[in-house]
């Protein structure tokens, strides 16, 4: 079994944390409450971490890897755009920092 360097694992974990936080915040806008958000957090975190591990171990066909990367990066970009929009909206309405 190959052991990955700590830096590689940390970088992947930070990305997963950011994606999960963004997706859960997005889901909360549709009415998901505290216990539902907690369940969603665990499921998304486990799913993304498992997907990352499966990709690292070669368990996913090589042809699927670029499409998975495009999907995850695209969703991450969408979450970043949503956060930037909400930040701009809060400054425009005078609610920034409140």
Q: How far is the C-alpha of 56 from the C-alpha of 62, rounded, in Å?
A: 11
Predicted pLDDT of residue 83: 84
Q: Which residues, other chains included, contact 83 with Cβ-Cβ below 8 Å and sequence gap of 6+?
A: 22
CB-CB contact of 18 with 71 (8 Å): no
Predicted pLDDT of residue 91: 85
Q: How far is the C-alpha of 14 from the C-alpha of 37, rounded, in Å?
A: 19
Query: pLDDT by residue for the chain (98 residues), tens digit each?
Result: 555 544 556 667 788 888 898 889 889 989 999 999 999 999 999 998 888 888 888 899 999 988 988 888 888 888 888 888 888 888 888 776 66
Give this prediction's pTM.
0.72
């Amino acid at each position: 079994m190959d052991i990955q360097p700590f830096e590689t694992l940390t970088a992947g974990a930070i990305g997963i944390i950011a994606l999960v936080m963004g997706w859960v915040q997005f889901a909360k806008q549709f009415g998901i409450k505290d216990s539902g958000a907690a369940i969603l957090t665990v499921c998304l975190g486990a799913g993304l971490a498992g997907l990352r591990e499966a990709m690292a171990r070669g368990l996913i066909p090589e042809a699927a890897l670029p499409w998975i990367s495009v999907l995850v990066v695209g969703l991450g970009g969408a979450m970043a755009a949503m956060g930037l929009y909400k930040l701009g909206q809060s400054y425009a309405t005078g609610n920034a920092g409140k």
